[in-house]
Amino acid sequence: MASTNDLKNGTVLNLDGQLWSVVEFQHVKPGKGGAFVRTKLKNVLSGKVVDKTFNAGTKVETANVDKRSMQYLYKDGDDFVFMDSSTYDQITVAAATVGDASNYLLESQDVIVATHEGNPLYVEMPASVVLEITYTEPGLQGDRSTGGTKPATVETGAEIQVPLFLEAGTRVKVDTRDGSYLGRVND
């Protein structure tokens, strides 16, 4: 149990048997009446986001979430297999739990897997990853100006938007939160 005054971003609460992660919180002290805490909560399993208000100092049940650094090994049908880097234990995570992170997962890549009582909740990717463009339309001479993008397929199979001058075989940095192009990587 914890108090609403102890809430932090990322804290996982157990409300009515469901796990909710705190996305945002704000302590509000109106001039009249008692203080309260306004929160934005995200359902860990479904991804649904709701706003909830608690009275200040209210006791809330926190869930014990274990976050471990794990290495992505391979895809097994629809599931993804990860290995704990310290114990070499392997864990299988369903594709629905991995979600959009699968667009940026490369074998042997390190990610953080959050579990609750042994059940995988979500996969936390690094902020950006380096991927190689496997296919894109050829750029035209003179396409060096600002603006203008074209679709490109990266080695994981995901499609991203890149500047017109990039070609297949180029390694690029990609933001894992929204799939945006962050720049070229020169090896």
Residue 113 shares a structural domain with residue 76: yes
CATH of the domain at 173: 2.40.50.140
pLDDT of amino acid 146: 59
Segments forming the whole domain that contains residue 91: 66-124
Residue 71 shares a structural domain with residue 106: yes
Name the pLDDT band for 83 (thresholds 50, 70, 90): very high
The amino acid that residue 48 corresponds to is K
Name the pLDDT band for 140 (thresholds 50, 70, 90): low
Give the total number of structural domains in the chain: 3
CATH of the domain at 39: 2.30.30.30
Out of 91, 108, 124, a domain closes at 124
Rounded to two decimals, what is the model's pTM? 0.68
Q: Which tens digit of pLDDT belongs to each residue from 19-53?
A: 888 888 888 888 888 888 898 988 877 778 899 99
Residues facing residue 122 across a β-bridge: 114
pLDDT of 145 higher than 70: no
Q: How far apart are CA 164 and CA 140, in angstroms?
A: 8
Residue 92 shares a structural domain with residue 137: no
State the chain's mean pLDDT as an integer.
84
Residue 70 shares a structural domain with residue 54: no
